Amino acid sequence: MVRYLSETKLRQFETIIGYAFQDKAWLVQALTHSSFSKELAQQAGQTVSNYERLEFLGDAVLELCTSEMLFRAYPDWPEGKLTKTRATIVCEASLSYIARTLSFGEFILFSRGEEKTGGADRSSILCDVVEAVIGAVYQDGGLEKAKQVIARLVWEHWRKVPQENQTDYKSTLQEVLQKKGLGSPEYRMVEMTGPPHDRTFTMEIWLESKQICRASGKTKKAAAQMAAEQALKWLKQENLWN
């Protein structure tokens, strides 16, 4: 049987994020991977919710709060710089780095198989859990508490993320294309493979009715970033960007 979260573990995690849940069920859900839900249903006939819905909510809350924090912290920055900086803060590479630094992987509930194959250190999962935890705090304590957790988890740590983990290829690609008068890139999600708990997404970038690159990632965001990186390499090969 797969492992469960103890009260001690829950308190340890609450200490890390600086928030004590009124309803611990939200926290447990935020730390429950879909593989755990599936295995528990198969072995014990029990139904438990995983973090996917909270991830969806937390993603929106994180973007809103990060936007506000940047807006207030940098009153002289233009919209473009605010947008680009926000993208580097909330991207998978940054969030997974932060989660790894804070040992989030030690608290996530996985099936035995997912745990053995390194799920606890998979960037896409760690990023998802950060967003899910934010969604859980929002559900449990409201927007102000969520802001406090974001400030503690994300805002205080993002400057420590290595520069190579903060590259926002999508924003860079957009800027390059605008400067060259080449129009805007169109991102097309063309394929999704793998089981629900381990999806792989394939993204294409089209420019002026022409497919210029194709890349895959464990999340839609990651696939888009990887495709944008490939698009920048294509522009260099075509001598359209130096």
Q: Looking at the chain, which runs of residues are DSSP E strands?
A: 186-193, 200-207, 210-217
Place of tokens 């999962």: 125
More confidently predicted of 27 and 38: 27
Q: Do 70 and 157 belong together in one domain?
A: yes
Q: Are 51 and 108 members of one domain?
A: yes
Q: Considering its fold, how many domains does the chain have in total?
A: 2
pLDDT exceeds cutoff 90 at 111: no
Structural domain boundaries enclosing 88: 7-165
92-106 pLDDT, tens digit per residue, is: 888 988 999 999 999
> Among 165, 189, 205, which residue terminates a domain?
165
Instruction: Tell me whether residue 1 is in a domain.
Output: no
Whether residue 168 lies in the annotated active site: no
Say how far apart CA 31 and CA 49 lie, in whole Å. 10
To the query of whether residue 131 is one of the catalytic residues in this protein, the response is yes
| 103 in a structural domain | yes
Full-model pTM: 0.72
CA 46 – CA 38 distance, rounded (Å)? 9
The rounded distance, in Å, linking the Cα atoms of 102 and 158 is 13
Has residue 2 been placed in a domain? no
Domain identity same for 112 and 176: no
- pLDDT over 70 at 3, yes or no: no
Residues 67 and 159 in one domain: yes
Q: How far is CA 71 from CA 74, 75, 76, 82, in A?
A: 6, 6, 9, 7
Least confident span in 117-121, 150-154, 157-161, 213-217: 157-161
Q: Are 75 and 157 within one domain?
A: yes
Instruction: Answer yes or no: do 215 and 148 share one domain.
Output: no
Q: Looking at residues 44-72, what average pLDDT do you find?
A: 91
Q: Which of 137, 165, 193 is the last residue of a domain?
A: 165
Domain membership flag for residue 44: yes
| Averaged confidence pLDDT in the chain | 86
The yes-or-no verdict on residue 240 having pLDDT over 80 is no
Check whether residue 139 and residue 193 sit in a common domain: no
> What pLDDT is attached to residue 229?
81
Which residue among 92, 131, 198, 204 is the active-site one? 131
> Is 222 part of a structural domain of the chain?
yes
The candidate with the shortest Cα–Cα distance to 101, out of 156, 63, 146, is 156
Query: Do residues 101 and 18 share a domain?
Result: yes
> 117, 149, 165: which is the final residue of a domain?
165
- Spell out a b/e string for 212-231, using b for 16 or more CB atoms within 10 Å of the CB, else e: bbbbbbbbbbbbbbbbbbbb
Same domain? 15 vs 58: yes
Residues 158 and 216 in one domain: no
d(CA 192, CA 198): 10
Domain presence at residue 26 = yes
Band of pLDDT at residue 38, cut at 50, 70 and 90: confident
Q: Are residues 62 and 89 in the same domain?
A: yes
pLDDT of residue 2: 35
* Choice among 59, 92, 114, 140 that is catalytic: 59
Whether residues 39 and 158 fall in one domain:
yes
Least confident of 5-19, 62-76, 167-181: 167-181
d(C-alpha 213, C-alpha 192), whole Å = 17
